[in-house]
Amino acid sequence: MRPSRITGRVATGHRNCDFDALASVIALTMLYPDATAVIPRSVNPNVRRFLSMHKDLLRVAEPADVDWSAVTHLMVADANRWNRLDPIIFERIDPQVPVSLWDHHPDIGDITPVDGIQETVGATITLLLREIQTQRKNLPPIPATLFLAGLYEDTGSLSFNSTTAEDARAAAYLLERKADLDIVRRLLRPAYGLRQKEALFALLSVAERFKIDGFNVGLGRIDISGHLENLALVVRMFLEIMNVDAAFGIFFQPERNRCMVIGRSTVEEINVGAIMQGLRGGGHPGAGSSLLKAVNPEAVTAMLTELLQGNRRSSVTVSDLMSFPVISVTSRTTMDEVAQILRRQGCTGLPVINDDVLCGVISRRDFKRIGKEAQLKAPVKAFMRTQVHTITPDRSPGEAVALMVKHDIGRLPVVADGAVIGIITRSDAMLYFYDLLPD
């Protein structure tokens, strides 16, 4: 007889599940005993070994075990973007299901939670331990050891710059609950074999070294074949051997036409997580990654270099990619007229300009605030956003992408001498980096 599929409340974390994500998901099931821990299909090698040894002690399931149409509450840990979760979830879950989010990443993602905790600390498990202590939950040694592994993994055993005092207090609490440091060391011991060694030597043979605002940065790009685990360890060793402040590895798989970008940094001034946001990835100030599919690896290298160099000049600028002349509306235009323009032009937003002065932006997402049909007759000024982010035509496409990702917007008015001369959208910039612009 086939077992019934899981329904109700589900807790999950990001793909390529690490110990912080696993620990946080298990912690959620302690706080919500009716929840089922669902671990993504892709987990890192050390987590896979841990699960194989503890599968009888931990009540975990895979995404395929869940009837996602019957999930009533989704709890997400250590991720704030849908594309970081197992693809099955986004494909099958009801969009109306409430989502709770516990996450320590500083960036704002596209998951809109109804509750949870989002604070910048060293590890997500720290946030959940706060709640476990508040509720005076019993914490046996085995989960305490798992939680400490997650905390140490994401904070570099409390040595990363992202570590906070609360992380240190959480570690002390776990040691008081008999977390086993010997087991933690074994759990976090990296798997370094012949293929990782070959990848490291290949990366070192093509490495470039340059300075960004006085900091040394190492960058390398290599081709890899098949599945290669622990590339993060390869980049960490790449950083240490090159003796640089930050290191980035670009790993291209020709047979799958995709790039894995991994970065590590030891200085606050080079925020890897923020840089990876510009590559549709994510992470922390000290560590991050991005997986890009159907891309030109040379374009990825160029984009990463521009994101690293910030406001330095590049050969291609915003003026080369922007659309013009600018289609705009005034603050007196009705929302109904705006809807017609958006449909006719096939765009998602418009600048609002009064007497040659940019005073706002109206986009499709602003229509979600319209509750009654009569409001379609209201003027744009009732719904437009007045906090407008702009860019100048001489800036790089990488800067434009980073700005749009940071503020979660889809377009930037291009301003010169106080006048709007064009519009650059996220699609315009990404088409350039994916080498898909028309000739």
| pLDDT grade for 203, boundaries at 50, 70 and 90 | very high
3-state secondary structure 71-98: EEEEEEECCCCHHHCCHHHHHHCCCCCC
- The Cα 233–Cα 236 span in angstroms is 5
Q: What is the pLDDT of residue 312?
A: 38
Contacts of range 340-343, beta carbons closer than 8 Å, 24 or more positions apart: none
**Tell me: the pLDDT tens digits for 157-196?**
998 888 999 999 999 999 999 999 988 988 887 766 788 8
**Can you tell me the distance from the alpha carbon of 38 to that of 25, in angstroms, rounded to the nearest whole number?**
8
Architecture of the domain defined by 6-187? Alpha-Beta Complex (3.90)
The fold of 194-309 is Diaminopimelate Epimerase; Chain A, domain 1 (3.10.310)
23 vs 156, residue with greater confidence: 23
Distance linking the first and last C-alpha atoms of the chain: 59
The pLDDT score that the predictor gives to residue 430 is 67
Q: What pLDDT score was predicted for residue 131?
A: 96
Q: And the tokens for 285?
A: 């100030």
Give the span between the Cα atoms of 322 and 412, in whole angstroms.
9
| Mean pLDDT, the chain, whole residue set | 87
Pick the CATH number of 318-433 from 3.10.580.10, 1.10.10.60, 3.40.50.720, 3.40.1230.10: 3.10.580.10
Locate the domains of the chain by residue range. 6-187, 194-309, 318-433
Among residues of the chain, what percentage have pLDDT more than 70? 94
Residue 436: per-residue pLDDT: 44
Residue 154 near residue 20, CB atoms below 8 Å: yes
Distance CA 349, CA 362 (A): 6
> Residue 99: is its pLDDT beyond 90?
yes
Closest by CA to 318, choosing from 198, 421, 418, is: 421
pLDDT of 435 > 60? The answer is no
> Tell me, what's the pLDDT at 1?
34
d(CA 192, CA 394) in angstroms, rounded, equals 45
Distance CA 130, CA 122 (A): 13
Most confident of 127-136, 276-285, 356-365, 413-422: 127-136
Residue 132 CA, chain-centre distance (Å), reads 26
Question: pLDDT digit string (tens) for 384-394?
Answer: 988 899 999 98
pLDDT over threshold 80, residue 307: yes
Reading the block at residue 418, the tokens are 């106080």
Do residues 75 and 26 touch, judged by C-beta distance below 8 A? no
